C-alpha cells in the first residue's frame, strides 16, 4: 500500500511540475508580447521626430530586454519539449495544443536561434519530428 501511495505521489508531482512549466511558458510568452508591444509603441513615437543618441541607447536597451525575454521563453519551451521527447507528456495531447506555437516560434525566428548548434535542440528535434507527421 505504501508503494502504491508513493507511486501516486510521484505521478501527481510530475503532473504539477509539468503544469508549472506550461504556466511559466505562457507567462513568459505574455511578457515577451508586452515587451514587443512597448517596443513598437516607442518606434512609432520615434517616427515623429529626429532620433537622438539617447533614443538610440534607449532602443538598444529595449532590444536587450526583448532578447532576454525571448531567451527566457525559449528556455521554458525547450524544457516542455524535453518532457514530450522523454515521454513524460502525452505527445498527441501536446501536439494538439502546442504544434502551432512550436512551428510559429521556429519558423518566424529572425535571429538564427535555431541554426545548427542551437542550444534549443529539444525544440528542434520535436519540430523536425512533427514536420513529418
8-37: pLDDT as tens digits: 655 666 677 778 888 999 999 999 999 999
Least confident of 47-51, 76-80, 112-116: 47-51
Residues 6+ apart with CB under 8 A from 43: 59
pTM of the model: 0.82
| Cβ pair 83, 20 in contact under 8 A | no
Average pLDDT, the chain: 87
Range of the domain at 120: 2-131
Mean pLDDT, to the nearest integer, of 78-91?
Answer: 89
**Per-residue pLDDT at 7 exceeds 60:** no
pLDDT score of 31: 95
Query: How many structural domains compose the chain?
Result: 1
109: cell is: 525566428
| Cβ pair 122, 82 in contact under 8 A | yes
88 vs 66: which has the higher pLDDT: 66
Amino acid at each position: 500500500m505504501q508503494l502504491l501511495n508513493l507511486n501516486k505521489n510521484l505521478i501527481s508531482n510530475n503532473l504539477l511540475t509539468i503544469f508549472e512549466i506550461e504556466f511559466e511558458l505562457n507567462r513568459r510568452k505574455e511578457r515577451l508580447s508586452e515587451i514587443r508591444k512597448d517596443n513598437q509603441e516607442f518606434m512609432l513615437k520615434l517616427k515623429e521626430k529626429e532620433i537622438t543618441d539617447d533614443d538610440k541607447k534607449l532602443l538598444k536597451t529595449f532590444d536587450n530586454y526583448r532578447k532576454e525575454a525571448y531567451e527566457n521563453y525559449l528556455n521554458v519551451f525547450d524544457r516542455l519539449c524535453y518532457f514530450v521527447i522523454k515521454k513524460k507528456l502525452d505527445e498527441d495531447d501536446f501536439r494538439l495544443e502546442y504544434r502551432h506555437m512550436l512551428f510559429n516560434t521556429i519558423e518566424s525566428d529572425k535571429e538564427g536561434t535555431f541554426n545548427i548548434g542551437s542550444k534549443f535542440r529539444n525544440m528542434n528535434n520535436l519540430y523536425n519530428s512533427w514536420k513529418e507527421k
